[in-house]
Amino acid sequence: MLNLLKIEMKKMKLGWYVRGAVFANFIILGFLWMVTFTEGKDTFQTIDETFLVIGTFVRAVFIIFGAVLISKLIISEFKNKTILVMFTYPINRKKLLAAKLLIAGGLTFITILISNACVAAAFFLLNSIYGVIPGELTASMVSQQALKMIVFAFGAAGTSLVPIFFGMRKHSAAATIISSVVISMLISSTSPDFSISSIVYIPLSLAAVGLIFSFLAVRRIEKIDVF
């Protein structure tokens, strides 16, 4: 399995992904700070609310990134039949697909975690200069939010695997990405009195669904005819 992971990572050439993630972080930070600086204290009432909104934006964006990874690693190879080359090697199909899914989910988890931390750090650095959001950021707050980031990042990484179900039906990259956009919109929806993104059980439940879909995809791989 480790050798398969190394092979797939070399094939991926992660430069495009890293550049895209960095660019997305700047866009998220710029948008949130522009809105905050323009609207002032009416945007965020508390530091906890600020962390929640930052995390929601980051997770929504990188769930879609996760679907793009699945599309490039799995769906496009089935659609173009380039995965036939791998099937000619003495490699277990299930291990091959599991390695691809592990890379997609693992990269999504790491990217969400790092991006959440970087965007939040940059945002509160700007706030320490301009003092737009009331309250003081303490060490206890940071430790509590760090734990939440890990839990929500795990939930979002699992959620990013849900589109495999839609993409593998007709080997459609469009279905994979569109389904991720719909999922991101649903879990990021909010209202003045209620925010789905603040309920940790929802992303964790979706993560469980994503893991189940991934398991089923791996289980069925031997029966899939790509010829």
Can you name the residues that pair with 190 across neighbouring β-strands? Answer: 195
The pLDDT tens digits for 51-70 are: 989 999 999 999 999 999 99
Q: Dihedral sign, CA of 10, 8, 176, 198?
A: negative
Lowest mean pLDDT among 1-5, 12-16, 152-156: 1-5
- pLDDT tens string 20-39: 999 999 999 999 988 887 77
**Which pLDDT score, from 0 to 100, does residue 42 have?**
62
Instruction: Look over the chain and give the mean of its residue pLDDT values, rounded to a whole number.
Output: 86
Q: Quick one: tokens of 190? A: 């909010």
Contacts of 70 (CB under 8 A, 6+ apart): 100, 101, 104, 160, 161, 163, 164, 167, 176
Question: Helix (H, G, I), strand (E, B), or coil: what is residue 190?
Answer: strand
HSE on the CB side for 44, CA within 13 Å? 23
C-alpha angle with apex 17: 146 to 162, nearest 5 degrees? 70
pTM: 0.89
- According to the model, what pLDDT value does residue 224 have? 64
* pLDDT, average across residues 85-98: 79
Q: Is the predicted pLDDT of residue 183 greater than 60, yes or no?
A: yes
pLDDT of 225: 56
Q: Is the pLDDT of residue 163 over 70?
A: yes
With tokens 């930070």, the residue in question is: 29
